[in-house]
Structure 1
Amino acid sequence: MFDEIPDMAAKRAEISPDATAFVEADTGRKWRFDEINLAANGVARGLGQAGLGEGDRLAILCLNCVEFFIILFACQKTGIVLCPLNWRQPAPELVDTLEPVGAKALIHDAAQALLATEVAQACAIPVLDIKTDVAGWIGAGTQAPAARVPAIRPWYLLFTSGTTGRPKAVIQTARMAWANAINISQATRMTSADTSVNFLPLFHTAGINLYTLPLFLLGGCSTVLPKFEPGQIFDLLKQGKVSQFFGVPAIYQSFSLLPDVGGIEWGAIGCGCGGAPLPEPLIRFFAGHGARVLNGMGMTETGPTVFLMDPENAEKKIGSVGRAQMLTEMRLDGVAEGKPGTGEIQLKGANVTPGYFQNEKATRDAFTDDGWLRTGDIGRRDEDGYIFVVDRIKDMYISGGENVYPAEVERVLNEHEDVLEAAVISMPDDKWGEVGAAFIIVRPGSVLDPTELRSWSRARLAAYKVPVRVTLVEDFPRTAAGKVRKPELKAMLP
């Protein structure tokens, strides 16, 4: 892709200045594209006056708000690198996350003031308040010539969830953002006429990029909620204010349990899902209400969109994440190009990160010698070219010499009428080396006998795949993206 691209906020304001870019859910305030650009110009100037310049890292700790995106665009204009922090984490964890990247200041909202102060004091950096410092800068915004920005210059950093150790800072660039916008818009048929809702946390790639930033680049509008409020989101869907929706499986599960789920015109909404596979029963449930929920797959390292199922085959190819989208190349390690087979999914393209910030070893380990990103996911390509994610390489275990993929077992368990959600991990076994342990969330109003579930599973799975232990739980420990924290499940084993 290009070496330089236009300043995103300025270019969008030039094309559609009077169109609405954002709506604040709590206040109803509407922000036009020209207002966003003016505000970003003001913040860019204010950050400079505060002593920040190109290459400096700026941490931010806040709930979802329009000001976050204004600050994000201001950082693009100036070359300052934004570092969104997870407000769910305690101060010591945030300090541990932030110290390696060397932030120069920390911006916070009112809800995170105490936490931000504690983190900033530990890191010996100043704090800036969104509603005072930043608001003043926004109000002083003026027109400025549209700049061009280096396409692969670090724009913001997203920290991995830390499920496999200390979080790494994944570099995000303007080129990645445009590649993601192209990948997701051609897959969903998204246009400037579309509307979406921003509620996933902004310290996660889905909060920024699914679908808020791509929709901004296309000239569409997003309603911004401070955080996930099922009732508020459901009302927006019922009122027809959302034409493109993205959620993780847990969100679709919560919707499916609502008595008025049929009151939404699902057929008029483009529904995407990621973070984990959407179980087949849920796909069929929403299909019965007119929705074709499209499974997809991506990573923080890929901006994130790589795969998304096409609507025409969503029910025919249940379990598939579709094909690699326009600006992403994909190969299966050890499988001939275009041929059916199973191997690690490896990726290359404009949407792939240049690496991890100030971490050469992690960057080197993440790529093959010929420059392909190792995903750590095992994929299967069928005879029609559709990709099915089999499981994470690290989650696979060997029982009595046989490979077992927990995701396969979970798919079967999720088909049981009394199971709302299943998660499977391995546990040591003296005879077989490793065996499966299943954690089950029971569907509300149902009663589930673990022994009966194991018997039911034996008719559908090879004996070595049937979990030896079944534990009923209220919920799973999850990441901000809704993924199950399997290391924490292992810690729950006796």
Structure 2
Amino acid sequence: MTGTNADINPAAAVAANARCFADTVAVRYEGGDLTYAELDDRAARLATVLAEGGVGAGDRVAYVGLNSATFFVTMLAAFRLGAIYVPVNFRLAGPELRAVLEKSGAVTAVVEEGHRAEVDSIKDGTALKRFLLVDDDPAVPVSQQPGAGWEGWSALIVAAAPHPTVIPRTFDDPAVLMFTSGTTGLPKGVILTHGNVWWNSVNVDSRLDTRRGDITYASAPLFHIGALNSFALRMLVRGGTVAIRRTFDPQQFIDDLLELKVNSMFVVPAMLQALTRVPGVFEKDYSALRSVVVAGAPVPPSLIEQFAAAGVLLQQAWGLSETAPFATHLPAEKTVERLGSAGIPMPYTEVRVVDSTTNVPVEAGVSGEIVVRGPNVTPGYWENPEATAAAFDEDGWFHSGDIGYLDPDGYLYIVDRLKDMIISGGENVYPAEVERVLSDMPGVTDVAVVGTADDEWGETVVAVCSIAEGHDITLEDVRAYAAERVARYKLPRRLKIVEMVPRNASGKLDKVSIRSLLEG
């Protein structure tokens, strides 16, 4: 026996936990906690509702809403039927939302009240046949009865008998259809199989200090693979507790860590930057916190040092939606020693750096494109064979589009996105390098660096900054500060001050929106 036909459906694991640990709290949520027995029962009843509406194996079920217990109930109900779960970015505007729902081919949508009008406005032309409104979450009160075409899901769930079975899922069966953030273009649907999800969990369990009874904290958006598959989904499989917040609030975040004695969490650098502005944040006792994974963007070294001094060891990781999500991880004990590194390859994942033109591996210390191969890597993009063919080479390596280098000991350092590289006067400028420098500049609260067309230089470097109250920063100030830390050809030649630097819901800089600020 090879084990390749083993059932790795998370819904089956949750059902087993409901039998063995019925009264253990699975989901802690402001709209109401759920034990494993309650979570499994609600998912089983919703599975019956979905099946009665025609959902079967391979169909897509979309969720449009913020972090909530409903997110997991919907996901597990879909998994029970062998359906594919489509968690939708709740910040998408109408045309973007239409594109995701159209491309996914979702036949049923579970929607929170705050997104009903948006879904209503774009539903025509999609494959959606059924619309379920979440009407029993105290955190999301429904202002009026569902309109035409909408069904309140609470009455349906109460009336439904629990679906008696969980369809077995193996390594090649699709589990989640997750759309990329689209910071540099149109989003693509990333197919993540049950095997991709499972192997990432094995990687995480092998490298990080996680335990079956842990409490993990989810305030980063769960529609992002980092928040969903770093700890949250795995915690439900293992029988621990997922504490959910609908959105990120810095003070609430700190209070929750202390009150709940959180053991693990996924965060993005922008969240950490916000935490540093909470009074007394570095004077608290975070001894229960063992595993803090930071990804989504490079972390300024000064931020790592600040948290390390307070006993919180930030473990940088690198990956994408396509790697489910982690390809590399920096062990906690190396946090300060390898300051700024995104770590070493996960145990069951291969990573190398190649010349982006020749596809030949480069030497240690030389920057190139990061490529990945392993069982956690997506098989491709949903109904997009051209994009799939472009992303994989003939040897099965996935080309990430990220630029980085490996040091002589095999530790990865991220330089930037290949598409974001600026060519100014024949020199390559990596915006992320300049952003890391300027993020430490006194008075700068957030920063993005982009290139714009320039008649003399081809492209010129532009810094887009938000500034702390009471500070006044000029282009000359920025150039003088950066000149002590990077080569002169990398210095910004333009400065744009904005109230808030655009970021997407995943915490990544939204380069499309940022460039639009410079137009005209």
TM-score computed with the length of structure 1 as normaliser: 0.93
Counterpart AA for 1:7: N
Match of 1:177 in 2: 197
Task: Indicate which of 260, 279, 283 corresponds to 2:280.
Answer: 260
Q: Show structure 2 runs of 5+ residues with no match.
A: 136-151
The Cα of 1:251 is off from its aligned counterpart by 0.8
Deviating more after overlay: 67-76 vs 439-448: 439-448
1:414 corresponds to which residue? 439
SS at match of 1:398: strand
Deviation at 1:426, TM superposition (A): 1.1
Whole-angstrom CA distance in 2 between matches of 1:381 and 1:135: 56
Match in the other structure for 1:303: 324
The AA in structure 2 aligned to 1:385 is: G
Following superposition, the deviation at residue 267 of structure 1 comes to: 4.2
Q: Which of the numbers 30, 36, 50 marks the counterpart of 1:47?
A: 50
Greater alpha carbon shift after TM alignment, 244-253 vs 6-15 = 6-15
Equivalent residues in 2 for 1:114-153, closer than 5 Å: 114-123=117-126, 125-131=129-135, 132-133=152-153, 136-137=156-157, 140-142=160-162, 144-145=164-165, 147-153=167-173
Q: Which shifted more, 262-271 or 398-407?
A: 262-271
The residue that corresponds to 2:77 in the other structure is: 74
Matched to 2:96, the amino acid is E
Pick from 90, 95, 119 the counterpart of residue 93 of structure 2: 90
**What is the match of residue 8 of structure 1?**
10
Q: Does 2:469 correspond to 1:448? A: no
Aligned match of 2:367: 342
> 2: distance between equivalents of 1:421 and 1:393?
22
Aligned counterpart in structure 2 of residue 216 of structure 1, from 236, 241, 248? 236
Report the alpha carbon displacement of residue 363 of structure 1 after superposing the two structures with TM: 0.9
Q: Name the SS of the counterpart of 2:95 in structure 1.
A: helix
For 1:19-30, list aligned pairs within 5 A: 20-27=24-31, 29-30=32-33
Aligned amino acid, residue 271 of structure 1: V
Work out the CA distance in 1 between the residues paired with 2:83 and 2:319.
26
When residues 139 and 11 of structure 1 are mapped into structure 2, their CA distance, relative to the original with a 3 A threshold, is farther
Query: SS state of the match for residue 93, structure 1?
Result: helix
* 1:33 aligned residue: 36
1:196–1:212 contact (8 Å) kept in structure 2: yes
Aligned residue for 1:378, secondary structure, equals strand
Q: CA deviation at 1:396?
A: 1.1
SS of the equivalent of 2:70 reads helix
**What's the CA shift for 1:356?**
0.9
Counterpart secondary structure, 1:215:
helix
Give the equivalent residue in structure 1 for 2:460.
435
Shift of 1:337: 8.5
Find the partner of 1:188 among 202, 205, 208. Answer: 208
Secondary structure in 2 aligned to 1:58?
strand
Q: 1:282 to 1:141 in 2, by over 3 A?
A: farther
- 2:517 matches 1:492: yes
Do 1:120 and 1:126's aligned partners in 2 also have CA atoms closer than 8 Å? Answer: no
Instruction: Give the direction of change, closer, same or farther, for the CA distance of 1:3–1:165 in structure 2 (3 Å limit).
Output: farther
Q: Distance in 1 between matches of 2:401 and 2:197?
A: 23
Q: Are the counterparts in 1 of residues 250 and 278 from structure 2 also a CA contact under 8 Å?
A: no
Deviation at 1:159, TM superposition (A): 1.1
Change (3 A) 1:146 1:169: closer
Please show how residues 153-168 of structure 1 align to structure 2 within 5 Å.
Answer: 153-168=173-188
Q: Contact conserved, 2:180 with 2:321, CA < 8 A, in 1? A: yes
Q: How many Å separate the matches in 1 of 2:375 and 2:384?
A: 21
TM, length-normalised to structure 2:
0.89
- Residue matched to 1:228: 248
Task: Report the alpha carbon displacement of residue 240 of structure 1 after superposing the two structures with TM.
Answer: 4.1
The one-character-per-residue Cα deviations of 1:405-455 (angstroms, maximum 9, x if unpaired) are: 111112222232333332111122222222211112234554433312212
Uncovered stretches (5+) of structure 1, i.e. residues with no partner? none
Contact 1:477 1:484 in 2 (8 A): yes
Write the mapping of 1:236-315 to structure 2, written as runs, cut at 5 A: 236-269=256-289, 270-315=291-336
Deviation of the 1:368 alpha carbon: 1.0
Measure the CA separation in 2 of the matches of 1:100 and 1:6. Answer: 27
Instruction: Give 2:345's match in structure 1, choosing from 305, 320, 324.
Output: 324
Going from structure 1 to structure 2, the CA distance change for 1:25 and 1:446 (only over 3 Å counts) comes to: farther
Counterpart of 1:108 in structure 2 is 111
- CA distance in 1 between counterparts of 2:28 and 2:287 reads 26
Distance, in Å, in 2 between the alignment partners of 1:21 and 1:278 is 33
Shift in alpha-carbon separation, 1:19–1:353, aligned structure 2, 3 A? farther
Paired AA for residue 438 in structure 1: A
Identity %: 34
Q: CA deviation at 1:60?
A: 1.9
Equivalent residues of 1:22, 1:66 under 8 A apart: no
CA contact (8 A) 2:5 2:170 kept: yes
Deviating more after overlay: 462-471 vs 260-269: 260-269
1:383: Cα distance to partner?
A: 1.5
Aligned AA (1:192): R
Give the distance between the partners of 1:237 and 1:355, measured in 2 at CA. 37
State the alpha-carbon separation in 2 of the partners of residues 61 and 241 from structure 1.
Answer: 30
Q: Which amino acid aligns with 1:373?
A: F
Residue 188 of structure 1: how far off its partner (Å): 2.2
Residue 323 (structure 1) shift: 0.7
Deviates more, 1:177-186 or 1:126-135: 126-135
- 2:223 aligned partner: 203
Is the CA contact 2:371–2:400 (under 8 Å) kept in the aligned structure 1? yes
- For 1:331, the aligned partner's letter is R
Pairwise CA distance, 1:227? 2.4
Q: 2:54 is matched by which residue type in structure 1? A: G
